[in-house]
Amino acid sequence: MLNIVVCVSGGGTNLQAIIDGVNNGLIHNTRIQAVISNNPGAYALERAKNAGIEAICMSPKTFESRDAFNDAFTERMIALNPDLIVLAGFLVQIPTRMIAAFPNRIINIHPSLIPSFCGVGYYGLKVHEAALDRGVKLTGATVHFVDDGTDTGPIILQKAVEVMENDTPQVLQKRVMEQAEWIILPKAIDLIAAGNVCVKEGKVVISK
């Protein structure tokens, strides 16, 4: 059984896709142990509670410094000791010590085809604004392992999505979620739960 902790900051539609995937058998052999949000107002916390999952809020604002938050967040995660940490729209930088404690055991969903429109400052709607500004005809989403860079870890899955004329960032974001994110994030978790994902020389190899 793969025990996962899902980290969220906002609406939690990717969290919902994982909850649904576990419940409808799309994701095998996986249990959502807890959901952690940095944002007390995140609707994702309600989604967790509605699904009977432990919902934890740890806001950096309630700590005296970022270092104090990073230490407490890392300690809490080490105590939970999940097999996999899933960043599903989590807009907080993961502490270096946590990354070191969970090597190739943290994954992130990013709403573009990495290496386009990623790195520091590219999150949420900003990613789609940048894609529309550049005039790309294809965008998409990427699931990758988290290393100590921003969006630089080994790529697990990607899925392309067409950009349409007259797209707004909001319209494009919705299409990327529906056609890519909610599909590849559950799929990546299922592949990891089945033991079919390994990292060799910095690249992901998927067996099966």
190 burial type by CB count under 10 A (0-12 exposed, 13-18 middle, 19+ buried): buried
One of 27, 37, 110, 190 touching ligand GAR (CB under 6 A): 110
In the annotation, is 110 catalytic? yes
The answer to whether residue 37 forms part of the interface with ligand GAR (CB under 6 A) is no
Helix residue spans in the chain (DSSP H): 13-23, 43-50, 66-80, 96-101, 125-134, 169-176, 182-193
Q: Note whether 105 and 94 are within 8 A (CB).
A: no
Contact 82, 5 (CB under 8 A): yes
Minimum distance between the CB of residue 11 and ligand GAR, rounded to whole angstroms? 4
Q: Kindly tell me which of 79 and 134 has the beta carbon lying closer to ligand GAR.
A: 134
Q: Binder to ligand GAR among 21, 82, 95, 111 (CB under 6 A)?
A: 111
Q: Which of 21, 82, 89, 95 binds ligand GAR (CB under 6 A)?
A: 89
For ligand GAR, the closer of residues 109 and 192 by Cβ is 109
- Tokens 């799929």, residue located: 187
* Residue 21 binds ligand GAR, judged by CB under 6 A: no
Under the binding rule (CB under 6 A), the answer on residue 48 touching ligand GAR is no
Minimum CB distance to ligand GAR smaller for 67 or for 178: 178
d(CA 110, CA 61): 25
- Give catalytic residues, as residue numbers: 110
